Amino acid sequence: MFNINFFLPTKLIFGVDSLEKLPKEAKKLGKKALIVTGRSSTKKTGLLNRTVEMLKKAGIESVIYDKIVPNPLSTHVDEAGELAKNEGVDFVIGLGGGSSIDSAKCIAIVAANKGKIWDYVDVVGGKKPKKALPIVAITTTHGTGTEADPFAVITNPETKEKVGIGYDVTIPTLSIVDPKLMITLPKDQTAYTSMDAFYHSIEAFFNVNANPFSDVLALEAMKRIITNLPWAYTNGEDLEARTNLAWANTAAGLTETITGVIANHSIEHAISGFYQEVPHGLGLCITGPYLFEKLFNKIYSRLAVVGREVFGVYETNEKRAGMLAIEKLRDFQENFGLNKKLREFKVKKSDFEEMAKVAFKIMLGPIKATPGKLKEKDIIEILEKAY
Ligand SMILES: [Fe+2]
């Protein structure tokens, strides 16, 4: 038996050169936009200028906020939210990777309401926002899936809490996924973002609320990533591989909206909340296989499906096929140098207890959606194995 709840009122435009559709669509949202982006990559590639010019031709004025960092910060969101208010912008464009788009979602809340973003973080007692400015997501990476879900991940630098929020008002009004914008993604980011999408899919597949809708997208996304990441990693300009990874990422975003991730994301948010230099996709690869081993007795038949359908394992015994799936996952990650240890990032063991507490506080939903009843001590055990 299963239940399905799905709400995604986004106009999604996917495909090579889909950015060309931006002016026509953006005109419907107003005359002044705040473009939210990172410090360098959209400037280096010329994408920021190109976007500003495209909007200008459509009669839309742009205000730029370009301070977003990987693992984006609530302080930047508050600052940009004030800027949006003062400038009286009509909508917010997230231009770049997940950090820029997630920040744009949060800025859209601050711009339309009183107070700061942390006042609207439900897991720390904040209220649910009733409104936000319209959000446009233009993604330059194939990770996070944020263009196809309501979620935004944001870190409070004071409390080190890295939380996920997601409301109906943070669903993008318009999402443009143009694989051509992804060809300049460096090798390491190519691997990290693809594996983020992979973990969204595999975690949704193991989620206690998994259902046929998310299963079909999750398996499909995993297969596409395993087949295409090696090609895009070898030749970043392989547009066929980029298109497949871009779709896998969007499909994985849909699985997040339909079903959602499990405890691996809770653990990773604790890790990169404490140690912001750990890239999200890499953090997931470090702890993921240990979590799946921990859950083995609860998930081996689903792991066996992943083994057979995604990794081409030929094994009729369920448990052996499940074990082989984890082995193949580790082997795959090894190709891209993703089987790292936490100690390589100077993570302190003495933080593990606090990190487990933070995981439970800020990402309890995914922990509850994990098969078996995980306790703080289980999270600590996984962190120790990954050390
Ligand atoms: Fe993620």
Strands 135-139 and 174-177, by their bridges, are parallel
Number of neighbouring beta carbons within 10 Å of residue 371: 16
Residue 266 CA to ligand 1 centre (angstroms):
10
For residue 118, what is the domain's CATH number?
Answer: 3.40.50.1970
Kindly give the distance from the C-alpha atom of residue 84 to the centroid of ligand 1, in angstroms, as a whole number. 27
The DSSP-derived string for 266-278 is: HHHHHHHHH-TTS
Centre of ligand 1 to C-alpha 351, Å, is 22
* 58 Cα–ligand 1 center, Å: 34
Q: What's the structural domain count of the chain?
A: 2
Instruction: Say if residue 288 is in the same domain as residue 227.
Output: yes
pLDDT, residue 133, reads 98
Among 180, 148, 105, 104, smallest CA distance to 12 is for 148
Residues 152 and 194 in one domain: no
**Å from CA of 60 to ligand 1 middle:** 32
Say how many Å lie between the CA of residue 127 and the centre of ligand 1.
24
Angle at 194 between CA 188 and CA 200, to 5 degrees: 135
Report how far residue 266's alpha carbon sits from residue 288's, in angstroms, rounded to the nearest whole number.
11
Q: Quote the ligand 1 centre to 54 CA distance (angstroms).
A: 31
**Domain range enclosing 335:** 187-385
CB 344 within 8 A of CB 279: no
**Domain co-membership, 324 together with 307:** yes
Q: Report if residue 352 sits inside a domain.
A: yes
Among the candidates 133, 159, 182, a domain finishes at 182
Give the span between the Cα atoms of 151 and 149, in whole angstroms: 6
In one-letter notation, the amino acid at residue 77 is V
Residue 5 lies in a domain: no
**Rg of the chain, C-alpha, whole Å:** 20
Q: How far is the CA of 142 from the centre of ligand 1 (A)?
A: 11
Q: Which pLDDT does position 276 carry in this prediction? A: 87
Helix (H) or strand (E) holding 94, with range, is strand 91-96
pLDDT by position in tens, the chain (length 387): 899 999 999 999 999 999 999 999 999 999 999 999 999 999 999 999 999 999 999 999 999 999 999 889 999 999 999 999 999 999 999 999 999 999 999 999 999 999 999 999 998 999 999 999 999 999 999 999 999 999 999 999 998 888 999 999 999 999 999 999 999 999 999 999 999 999 999 999 999 999 999 999 999 999 999 999 999 999 999 999 999 999 999 999 999 999 999 999 999 999 998 998 899 999 999 999 999 999 999 999 999 999 999 999 999 999 999 999 999 999 999 999 999 999 999 999 999 999 999 999 999 999 999 999 999 999 999 999 999
Same domain, 71 and 118: yes
Q: Quote the CA–CA distance of 113 and 85 in Å, as a whole number.
A: 9
Residue 194 lies in a domain: yes
Domain boundary among 182, 201, 222: 182
Distance separating the N- and C-terminal Cα atoms of the chain: 39
- Residues 228, 211 within the same domain: yes
* Measured distance CA(205)–CA(325) in Å, rounded: 13
What tokens appear for 85 in the block?
Answer: 């208010």
User: Domain end: 136, 164, 182, which one?
Assistant: 182
- Does 211 reside within a domain? yes
User: From the CA of 283, how far away is ligand 1's center (Å)?
Assistant: 10
Identify whether residues 143 and 283 lie together within a single domain: no
Cα(24) to centroid(ligand 1), Å: 31
Distance of alpha carbon 123 from alpha carbon 246, whole angstroms: 30
Query: Could you give the 3-state DSSP secondary structure of residue 82?
Result: helix
pLDDT at residue number 213: 98
194 CA to centre of ligand 1 in angstroms: 10
- 176 and 323, same structural domain? no
Determine, yes or no, domain membership for 48: yes
Same domain, residue pair 154 and 195: no
Considering the domain architecture, whether residues 206 and 128 belong to the same structural domain is answered as no
Cα of 256 to ligand 1 centre, how many Å?
Answer: 9
- Show the CA angle centred on residue 119, arms to residues 30 and 71, nearest 5°: 75
Residues 283-313 as b or e (16 or more Cβ within 10 Å = b): bbbbbbbbbbebbeeebbebbbbbbbebbeb
Residue 235 lies in a domain: yes
Q: What is the pLDDT of residue 268?
A: 96
Pairing mode, strands 151-156 and 91-96: unpaired
Given a contact cutoff of 8 angstroms between Cβ atoms, the answer to whether 202 and 262 are in contact is no
- Going by C-alpha positions, the residue among 263, 268, 271 that lies closest to residue 202 is 263
Task: Specify whether the CB–CB gap between 379 and 263 falls below 8 A.
Answer: yes
Q: Structure tokens of 247?
A: 């779709």
Answer yes or no: do 22 and 159 share one domain: yes
Q: What six digits make up the tokens of 299?
A: 């998930």
* Domain membership flag for residue 220: yes
- Ligand 1 centroid to 32 CA: how many Å? 31
Domain identity same for 165 and 223: no
Task: Write out the H or E segment, with its range, that includes residue 175.
Answer: strand 174-177
**Does residue 197 share a domain with residue 175?**
no
Q: Is residue 1 part of a domain?
A: no
